[in-house]
Amino acid sequence: MPPVTTSAVILRSIEYGDFDLIVTFFTQAQGKRAALAKNARKSFKRFGGALELFSKVSIVYAHGKKKGGLPLLSESNLEQHFSNIRMDIHKTALASLWAETIYSWAEEEQAQEEIFQLLIRSLENLDDEKVDRDKVNILFLLRFLALAGLTPSLDQCVLCCRSLEDWGQGGICFDHARGGIVCPKCGVCLAPGPVLSVGAVKQLLWLNKGDLAAAGRMKLSREAMDRGRDLLESFLAYHLGREPKSLRFLKDLRRRHF
């Protein structure tokens, strides 16, 4: 196999042996891949800072002579470091959550072009000091779930299909198992998530219709931001089958900085 040169986002690096790293990265054309970065821990000059988590890099890798072994990573050159994210612990935690989510969800060597573009745009927006980090996170989660085929049903009851517009006021139960909101007439949730108000759900739907530029102009209530975020993060964890480590850290961070 000839060497492959491509742009990628670093999803994970783990130590291997005394001097090497196994680096998992996400590309537009080939999806998630892993490669062996030999002597990456021994010599900083070999790769510099171009193997850091969620960095956008240009990499060169190729299969070695050993059949069935990992490809060998020969070059990694930094394209975008996202320095503003790294200077903010909350933003770093969010970017880490996105990277862990894609690492857990994506299959090896399966192209996910739209998810790749979503990740790049979200990191660029999160790196922008003028953009609200919570809105970026909510939009990332909404778009990721949609691209993964897991769009939560927020505009009507998942059981009777009664429109949200006909519900009146009061708390809304979101059922993880059924994938959407359940109206009061249909009973309790099987796997309940956060309880939201009708107004908060409508604001989430409103936010989901626009892009980030439009989202920046939207005035969302604190309840819509917090409960919407909690709903999407818990729904994500439900479908991953576990709560990501980065999400546990993020929740602890929010509690300590409340």
pLDDT of res. 137? 94
The domain boundary, picked from 47, 80, 113, lies at 80
What pLDDT is recorded for position 1? Answer: 66
Q: Which of 65, 80, 95 is the last residue of a domain?
A: 80
Say what the pLDDT of residue 189 is. 67
Q: Give me the pLDDT at residue 68, please.
A: 62
Q: Residue 60 sits in a domain of what CATH number?
A: 2.40.50.140
Name residue 50's amino acid: A
For 34-67, the pLDDT digits (tens) are 999 998 887 766 787 789 999 999 999 987 666 6
Clarify whether residues 91 and 118 are in a common domain: yes
Written in H, E and C, the secondary structure of 140-164 is HHHHHHHHCCCCCECCECCCCCCEH
Each residue of 53-107: pLDDT tens digit? 999 999 999 876 666 678 999 899 999 999 999 999 999 999 999 999 999 999 9
Query: pLDDT at residue 193 above 80?
Result: no
Query: What pLDDT score was predicted for residue 243?
Result: 94
The per-residue pLDDT for 7 is 95
Q: What is residue 257's predicted lDDT score, i.e. its pLDDT?
A: 74
Question: What are the percentages of helix, strand and coil residues in the chain, rounded to 5?
Answer: 40, 25, 35
On whether both 199 and 247 belong to a single domain, the answer is yes
Nearest to 115 by CA among 147, 145, 151, 142: 147
User: Who wins on pLDDT, 110 or 48?
Assistant: 110
Task: Note whether 61 and 123 are same-domain residues.
Answer: no
Domain boundary among 80, 108, 123: 80
Provide long-range contacts, Cβ within 8 A and 24+ apart, for 241-248.
244/97, 244/100, 244/101, 244/104, 245/100, 246/93, 246/96, 246/97, 246/99, 246/100, 247/97, 247/100
- Do 144 and 101 share a structural domain? yes
Please tell me what DSSP assigns to residue 50: T
Please give the pLDDT value at position 245: 96
Q: How many domains does the chain have?
A: 2
pLDDT digits (tens, 9 = 90+) for 12-27: 999 998 889 999 999 9
* 3 state DSSP class of 187: coil
Eight-state DSSP code of residue 52:
S
**Model pLDDT, residue 117:** 95
Handedness of CA 226, 232, 233, 234 (dihedral sign): positive
What's residue 213's pLDDT?
A: 67
Per-residue burial over 107-143, b = 16 or more CB atoms within 10 Å of its CB, e = otherwise = eeeeebeebbebbbbbbbbbbeeebbbbbbbbbbbbb
pLDDT digits (tens, 9 = 90+) for 126-177: 999 888 899 899 999 999 999 999 999 999 999 899 888 887 776 788 889 8
Asked if the model's pLDDT at residue 215 lies above 70, the reply is: no
Mean pLDDT for the stretch of residues 183-205: 78
The pLDDT of residue 211: 66
Task: From 159, 211, 214, select the one nearest 187 (Cα to Cα).
Answer: 159
In which domain, by residue range, is 186 found? 87-256
Confidence (pLDDT) at 250 = 95
